[in-house]
Amino acid sequence: MTPAVIVDVDTRKKLGPNKVGELEFRNPCVMRGYYKKPEATAAFKDRDGWCHSGDLAYYDEDGRFYFVERIKEMIKCMDNQVVPAELENLLMTSHEGIDDVAVIGLPHPVYGEAPAAVVILNEQSKVGGHVTAEDIQKIIADCEVREGDAVRSGRAPNVGLVERGL
């Protein structure tokens, strides 16, 4: 069995069940490193043999692990690490006028980055595809997001993947 832990992205301390952090694992069969790339090796594998996956994940009380997002997709908004998938899920489940959504980080002069939601409207909903910036702000009010924006978009093919790079 391969030992695996979830650690805080900033402090590297182990986290308990249902806390999102970086998935780390250790196994003697994992590569020793990248060929002639000591920096890449050091970023992937530490001195104790723990491999840093670059994935955000959590585990439940039964020890099952769940993938959340790639760490590089996180939005660095001042002191907060905003997980786009969490905001996307919150928006999708909180407003029937939203058919699909992608949250991306946009440059911000004060916060470094600020989340922006690209929203695909559901024209067949009771609200007729009407979603306002105020609706978005109410939905994310309990999140640790200081500022953000919403961009409404027309129909888009749903392929299940979001490329967040600009």
pLDDT tens digits for range 99-158: 888 888 888 888 888 888 887 777 766 655 566 667 666 666 555 554 555 554 455 545
- Topology of the domain comprising 4-72: Luciferase; domain 3 (2.30.38)
Predicted confidence at residue 26, as pLDDT, reads: 94
Q: CATH top-level class for 74-153? A: alpha beta
Instruction: Report domain extents, the chain.
Output: 4-72, 74-153
pLDDT tens digits for range 47-93: 898 999 999 999 999 999 999 988 888 888 887 788 888 888 888 88
Predicted confidence at residue 153, as pLDDT, reads: 47
Predicted confidence at residue 15, as pLDDT, reads: 97
pTM for the model stands at: 0.63
Radius of gyration of the chain, Cα coordinates, nearest whole angstrom: 19
Predicted confidence at residue 97, as pLDDT, reads: 75
Instruction: Write the DSSP assignment of the chain as a string of letters.
Output: ---EEEE-TTT--B--TT--EEEEE--TTS-S--TT-HHHHHHHB-TTS-EEEEEEEEE-TTS-EEEEEEGGG-EEETTEEE-HHHHHHHHHHH-TTEEEEEEEEEEETTTEEEEEEEEEE-TTSTTTT---HHHHHHHTTTSS-S--EEEEE------S------
What is the number of other CB atoms lying within 10 angstroms of the CB of residue 86? 16
Predicted confidence at residue 105, as pLDDT, reads: 85
Predicted confidence at residue 157, as pLDDT, reads: 47
Predicted confidence at residue 35, as pLDDT, reads: 94
Q: In this predicted model, which residue has the larger pLDDT, 100 or 17?
A: 17
Predicted confidence at residue 87, as pLDDT, reads: 83
Q: Dihedrals φ, ψ of 92, to 5°?
A: -65, -35
What is the number of other CB atoms lying within 10 angstroms of the CB of residue 31? 10
